[in-house]
Amino acid sequence: RNSNRVAISHLHRQLYGRLYPVLLVSTDGSTIRLRYKEPKRILMLPLDSSTLPEAERKARLRRHFPSKPKAKEEETFEGIDLDTYKQFWKK
């Protein structure tokens, strides 16, 4: 272990020895400075989706869970003239 370890990754600790100044951002955009047990810069409170209008709530759900990509049709070899690729075949 050397001094560069902290610069490369985070500290692997269960408990920190002191409290750290952190900026807490609430759902309405207001900020509060508080002391937190882990060294972070910003903490954001989760947004309560039950207070949102129905259209905005559905839009947020669509962004979080996008629809599955549609299956593409497979290409068939019926429309391909095989004589044009005859030079690439091994004899």
- Does 18 fall in a domain? yes
| pLDDT tens-digit readout, 32-41 | 999 988 888 9
- Does 35 fall in a domain? yes
- Does 27 fall in a domain? yes
Domain that holds residue 48: 13-65
The answer to whether 26 and 47 are in contact (CB under 8 A) is no
- Does 36 fall in a domain? yes
Residues 6+ apart with CB under 8 A from 60: 49, 52
- Does 24 fall in a domain? yes
Nearest-angstrom CA–CA distance, 54 and 36:
35
Nearest-angstrom CA–CA distance, 2 and 33:
33
As for how many domains the chain has, the answer is 1
Query: 59: which 2 tokens?
Result: 């839009």
- Does 80 fall in a domain? no
- Does 8 fall in a domain? no
What does pTM read for this prediction? 0.44
Query: How much is the average pLDDT of 66-89?
Result: 81
Nearest-angstrom CA–CA distance, 21 and 66:
36
- Does 48 fall in a domain? yes
Query: How much is the average pLDDT of 62-90?
Result: 82
